[in-house]
Structure 1
Amino acid sequence: MWPVRPSSTPSARARWTALGAVLACTLLLAGALGARADDVADQKRKADRRIAALSQQLEGTSAALAKAYVNLEKTRAAIPVAQQRLAESQAALARAQQAQAQAEATEARAIAAEAQARAHNEAVAQKLAVAQANEARAADKLKKTGTELASSQDALDAYAAEVFQGGAVTESQLGMVFGSTSPQDFADRLVMADTASAVASDTIDRLAAMTADSTATKAYLTSVRAEVAELKRQAEAALRAAEAASAVATTAREEAVVAKNNAVTATSNAAAARADLDSLNSKQTAFAADLKVQRSDERAQLAEAEREAARLKAILVERARQAKLAEQKRLAKLKAEREARIRAERAKAAAAARNGKTYTPKIPAPVQSDPTPSNYLSYPAYGRTTSGFGMRWHPVLQKWMLHDGLDWGIACGTPVRAAAPGTVIRAGWRASGWGNQVLIDHGIHRGVDLVTSYNHLSSIVAWGGTVQRGQLIGYSGTTGYSTGCHLHFGVYEDGTPVNPRNWL
């Protein structure tokens, strides 16, 4: 059994030192994983920005193709991140398993050390108990010997007094010898004297033996007491060692539990990372197949859209030709009317001169063919420009394509208004990708027939007839080939798309 010491507690310093080492290792591991997590998160943010930029590149693409391509690109961007996470999770698992093995080995050593310390403490305690029992027996023996020694000494002292001094009542032994009345009486008295002397001698011998035994017992008691004191010191040291070993074992068990939990978590993380990667690989295969189908459909739809654009251009070119002819006729008529008026005014001046009067002819101003300002068109809606006019690389079809207008990012349902007075020449659904579209012909301006287009509308208000500047013609949306709510605004000069900013 362990010696019980009042208010004995395990060494807090030993426990917290070891536990601090475990926590430090855990924090270092967590810090390393946190740094790697930041790297992964940074990669994900970059990938997300790149995916978001695809929306602008894919504007004017069918929703199905855009979705298939974006899905594929998302998996492409996510796979390296998932691979890195898997590698880091597997590395963390290896570290956690190694830490667990080391912690369990430390725990085993600590438990063995604790058992050894307990055994040593028990052995010392047993030795101490034996030494204390020997001390008690030696003390009892010394006490008993002291009592017997005192009694024998008293008897011997009494005997000596009787031999050499005699008593008032009983005759001394010497008197007994010399006071005999006959030889027989003398002999008897001599035998009695010898007997008394023998008894005295035995008493003296026993007294000497008891004295020697008492001296030996005292020496033994002194030795035993020194042994007891040393064993007490050893017992205290053994108890402290056992308590320290117990504290280390407790800390080692806590460390092993932490390491095991870390290993379990790392195993779960590695399994989840592997599952995520496998899922991404499966999705990528499916998305690639879907993209192949959608790309084929897109090419067919693009061919149809190009034919539709060619038909629209032909229509607008013809309208421009007719409008220019009409404009030429209008200008010719105005010029003829001006010439006729000038001639009439000059005739009036000549007639007045013949009659001796003065008349100043009123010459009409020259006919102006193009009074249109550079900012003739008003903004049909206001929003952030998400895509400008110009050639744009199509990442799916792998070709340069013209983005023939301006895209403004506005919420679906935002009012869209006519950019200038004109006539609605087309309103309705266009299967070529524009969705709900309104086309307004504004007539001849700066020598060209000016037409504006409003595309991807959620609904149309002006289905035909003439409209005024700022008049509501519909509401913005994301119909047709659109990746989000916005307004695609286009401008045509004689049927050819131009940058709308030239007119805004």
Structure 2
Amino acid sequence: MRLHRTGHSRRSLVAGALATVLVALAAAAGPAFADDFDDQRAATEARAAAAAARAEELAASVEGLSAELGQAVLDLQATEARLPIAQAELATAQADLERTQREAALVTARLEDARSQESSITTTIEADGARAEEIRAAVGQMARRAYKGETAATSLSVVMDSTSTEDFVSQYGMVSTALRTQTKALDDLDQISATNKNSQARLAAIKVKVTELKAEADQKVVEADAAKAAAAARQAEIEQLIADQSARKAAIEAMRAQAESEQAQVDAERNTIASELADIIAKQRAAAEAARAAAQAAGKSAPAVAAPSGSVSGAIFGNPTSISPMHVTSEYGMRLHPTLGYVRLHAGIDLRTYCNTPEYAAADGTVQWAQNRFGFGNQVMIDHGTINGNSVMASYNHMTRFVVSGGQGVTKGQLIGYSGNTGTSAACHLHFEVYVNGSTVNPRPLLGL
């Protein structure tokens, strides 16, 4: 059963996906660094254009297959194109996971070190505080004893109270020692206060650092979890892609007989068309010869019917599509069959159109037929006359519908139908074939491309 779309075609959607994948592949293969931004941009644009062209080539390769088989081939191509990208993304995700885990471990170590410093400074502050309290208590006690007269406070009292030289020396030494002790205690207290103040400042800074490192550590855990999830997702995707690849190859292999049958039918239809064209050409030449003979019998001069030269050159056709300038999505020539594995002729060129957009007669002529042909879909065959004795005809294929009929004369640029996806086609496009003396030739130069 054929699937019709009024918007973007099936092949366009798949080609878009293939283009995205191939752009990623092309970008990954490019140089890692570039000094010149313009060169870098040009290289990127060239890779993107090559990837888009490759995507269209892949999509065009299924022309001639049924919708079901063509979709199976496109699905396999998309899977096989995505697989190396997913594998590269897995490697990146695993590298990201290893990096985030290393960073998380480093931040955790720094956090533990900061917490250790915080604990050490806190212990030092507490010890210094206790020591300061002890010194303050001792100084206060000395002050109270001096107030009560329990200690010699001045050198004068030592002189007045001494009973002998030895007593004087003894008492003076005791007073000096007490003064030195008191002075040292006050100095120690000042030093402890200064040290404690510095420790408090360091503690405040360490607390801020701990808070920052804790937030950073939490963020690294989140990043590591995300990297782990990304790696797991890519691994799961790769496993699924491999399974899909195997299943799709099996499905295509199962449809091999169907593909062979379809190809045989397309070949048979092409042979039928070639036979019909040969018959038309023969009748036209016979009619021309008869007309010449009749003219001569009537005593009139009549030029001989020109023998076919065998070739036609020059831009004899105008643009048959509504896309300007014309854009070729698939060339004329030999093409590998995506399922059966043999080379076959792509007997025309594919021109970009969109679904239900106008198609025009590429030159003046007469419609030979407008009908549905197996593989070609809705086809309009136009006889564009003779050039240098050569019969020139063109077929416009896969139309959604046509608006002309057999025997009707048309002029260059006249509307003949609307582009579509009928026949063994994978997308809305114009498959344009040119026949010279009943055999296909490359239409590109005749379109001025």
TM-score normalised by the chain length of structure 1: 0.67
Deviation string, structure 1 residues 431-480 (Cα, Å, up to 9, x no partner): 2x111012234566544444332211111122323323244332222222
Distance of aligned partners of 1:149 and 1:41 in 2 relative to their CA distance in 1, 3 Å threshold: closer
Largest Rg, 1 or 2: 1
Q: What percent identity do the matched residue pairs reach?
A: 31
Q: Given that residues 323 and 443 in structure 1 are in contact (C-alpha distance below 8 angstroms), is that contact kept between their aligned partners in structure 2?
A: no
1:349 corresponding residue in structure 2: none
Distance 2:71 2:408 in 1: 39
Q: How many residues align?
A: 391
Q: Given that residues 323 and 449 in structure 1 are in contact (C-alpha distance below 8 angstroms), is that contact kept between their aligned partners in structure 2?
A: no
Amino acid at match of 1:228: L
Matched, 1:143 2:147: yes
Q: Aligned match of 1:129 in 127, 130, 133?
A: 133
Task: Point out where structure 1 has 5 or more consecutive residues left out of the alignment.
Answer: 1-36, 158-200, 342-363
Q: Given that residues 417 and 469 in structure 1 are in contact (C-alpha distance below 8 angstroms), is that contact kept between their aligned partners in structure 2?
A: no
1:436 corresponding residue in structure 2: 378
1:426 corresponding residue in structure 2: 369
1:167 corresponding residue in structure 2: none
Q: Aligned match of 2:333 in 371, 390, 402?
A: 390
Matched, 1:469 2:411: yes
2:197 corresponding residue in structure 1: 236
Amino acid at match of 1:499: N
2:119 corresponding residue in structure 1: 115
Task: Point out where structure 2 has 5 or more consecutive residues left out of the alignment.
Answer: 1-22, 30-46
Distance of aligned partners of 1:60 and 1:377 in 2 relative to their CA distance in 1, 3 Å threshold: farther
Distance 1:128 1:399 in 2: 97
Structure 1 counterpart SS, 2:303: coil
1:274 corresponding residue in structure 2: 235
**TM alignment of 1:179-328, pairs within 5 A:** 217-328=178-289
Distance 2:171 2:278 in 1: 148
Q: Aligned match of 1:455 in 372, 397, 404?
A: 397
2:79 corresponding residue in structure 1: 75
Distance 1:39 1:402 in 2: 29
Deviation string, structure 1 residues 77-133 (Cα, Å, up to 9, x no partner): 211111111122112212222222232222222212211111111001100111011
Q: Which moved more, 1:415-424 or 1:78-87?
A: 415-424
Distance 1:472 1:314 in 2: 27
Q: Given that residues 380 and 395 in structure 2 are in contact (C-alpha distance below 8 angstroms), is that contact kept between their aligned partners in structure 1?
A: yes
Offset, 1:312: 2.2
Distance 1:144 1:272 in 2: 85
Offset, 1:148: 9.9
Distance of aligned partners of 1:125 and 1:63 in 2 relative to their CA distance in 1, 3 Å threshold: same
Offset, 1:377: 5.3
Give me the CA root mean square deviation.
3.7
Which structure has more helix as a fraction of its residues?
1
Structure 2 counterpart SS, 1:482: coil
2:431 corresponding residue in structure 1: 488
2:347 corresponding residue in structure 1: 404
Q: Given that residues 269 and 373 in structure 2 are in contact (C-alpha distance below 8 angstroms), is that contact kept between their aligned partners in structure 1?
A: no
Amino acid at match of 2:403: V
Structure 2 counterpart SS, 1:131: helix
Distance 1:317 1:97 in 2: 75
1:369 corresponding residue in structure 2: 305
1:179 corresponding residue in structure 2: none
Q: Given that residues 292 and 303 in structure 2 are in contact (C-alpha distance below 8 angstroms), is that contact kept between their aligned partners in structure 1?
A: yes
Q: Given that residues 376 and 420 in structure 1 are in contact (C-alpha distance below 8 angstroms), is that contact kept between their aligned partners in structure 2?
A: no
Structure 1 counterpart SS, 2:355: coil
Amino acid at match of 2:372: W
Deviation string, structure 1 residues 144-192 (Cα, Å, up to 9, x no partner): 1179999xx9xx99xxxxxxxxxxxxxxxxxxxxxxxxxxxxxxxxxxx
Q: Given that residues 435 and 456 in structure 1 are in contact (C-alpha distance below 8 angstroms), is that contact kept between their aligned partners in structure 2?
A: yes
Q: Given that residues 476 and 487 in structure 1 are in contact (C-alpha distance below 8 angstroms), is that contact kept between their aligned partners in structure 2?
A: yes
Q: Given that residues 26 and 51 in structure 2 are in contact (C-alpha distance below 8 angstroms), is that contact kept between their aligned partners in structure 1?
A: no
Structure 2 counterpart SS, 1:465: coil
2:37 corresponding residue in structure 1: none
1:415 corresponding residue in structure 2: 358
Distance of aligned partners of 1:336 and 1:502 in 2 relative to their CA distance in 1, 3 Å threshold: farther
Distance of aligned partners of 1:39 and 1:125 in 2 relative to their CA distance in 1, 3 Å threshold: farther
Offset, 1:333: 1.7
Offset, 1:135: 0.3
Distance 2:356 2:287 in 1: 38
**TM alignment of 1:85-100, pairs within 5 A:** 85-100=89-104
Q: Which moved more, 1:229-238 or 1:256-265?
A: 229-238
TM-score normalised by the chain length of structure 2: 0.74
Structure 2 counterpart SS, 1:121: helix
Distance of aligned partners of 1:484 and 1:213 in 2 relative to their CA distance in 1, 3 Å threshold: same
